[in-house]
Amino acid sequence: MRKRIPVGRAHDTLAMCLLWALLVLLAVPATAAERPRVLVMGDSLSAAYGIEREAGWVSLLAQRLEGKAEVINASISGETSGGGAARLPELLRQHAPQIVLLELGGNDGLRGLPPGQLRTNLAGMIEASQAAGAEVLLLGIDIPPNYGPAYRDAFTAVFHRLAERHGVPLVPFLLQGVALEEALMQADGLHPTAEAQPVMLDNVWPALAPLLRARGIELAARQD
């Protein structure tokens, strides 16, 4: 004769099974939701101008992270700091990033816009990102010397002063090791080639890696 399970014990067993099933179902979306999001706000240097988008340094960053963080590339070729400042609030609301990379200013410089305007726009973007709970990494850029030493010095000083004032890490020059290498620049002399993109990522990585670690992303030692 088959042994009967007491009704109370059967209810307890069923309740326990349902509880475990619920915990499993909740764990999957929670893991996805907790994956840090990295928002890149840049211009053509981050939008992979003139090359395949998959070859750009932002795409290479996503590959290096191997799905441990979601990389959102909101870069637009020709973007100025004013355009980025106008777009950022909606992007922060939509994506709620934990890390924001600001790579803007090159087009401001090429158009001869006032450095004070660049400073105001970038400061507003840093403050808005921080208010939204995101860490900020500032990616600096330089302009050709033919714009004159006074303007050039005022332009590059913006990035250093903002980093110091707001306590954010700075990559002084995104195109370090690229800009003066003819083989790594496209024919226009302004945009890097596909071969230059790993160098750009390596310029960004030392400043970005600590921010990723702080968000719980375990990184291989070979990538430091």
Predicted structure pTM score: 0.84
Query: Bridge-partner residues for 39, per DSSP?
Result: 72, 100
Looking at the fold, whether 63 and 16 belong to one and the same domain comes out as no
Q: What are phi and psi of 222, to 5 degrees?
A: -70, -15
Does 195 share its domain with 90? Answer: yes
What CATH number is attached to the domain comprising 70? 3.40.50.1110
My answer on whether 66 and 23 are in the same domain is no
Q: Are residues 177 and 200 in the same domain?
A: yes
Clarify whether residues 12 and 103 are in a common domain.
no
Whether residue 144 sits in one domain with residue 173: yes
Q: Verify whether residue 191 is a known catalytic residue.
A: yes
Whether the CA torsion 200, 209, 172, 157 is positive or negative: it is positive
Which residue in 221, 203, 66 sits closest to 137, CA to CA? 203
Domain count, the chain: 2
Cβ burial, residue 192 (10 Å; 0-12/13-18/19+): buried
Q: Of 46, 95, 191, 202, which residue is the catalytic one?
A: 191
Residue 75 among the catalytic residues: no
Residue 101 shares a structural domain with residue 167: yes
Q: Which of 11, 43, 44, 77 is flagged as catalytic?
A: 44
Q: Answer yes or no: 77 catalytic.
A: no
Co-location of 78 and 44 in the same domain: yes
Per-residue pLDDT of the chain (224 residues), as tens digits, is 555 555 555 555 555 545 554 444 444 443 445 789 999 999 999 999 999 999 999 999 999 999 999 999 999 999 999 999 999 999 999 999 999 999 999 999 999 999 999 999 999 999 999 999 999 999 999 998 889 999 999 999 999 999 999 999 999 999 999 999 999 999 999 999 999 999 999 999 999 999 999 999 887 654 44
Q: Which domain holds residue 125?
A: 36-223
Tokens representing 150 are 């006074």
Let me know whether 55 and 13 are in one domain: no
Whether 44 and 21 map to the same domain: the answer is no
- Check whether residue 15 and residue 83 sit in a common domain: no
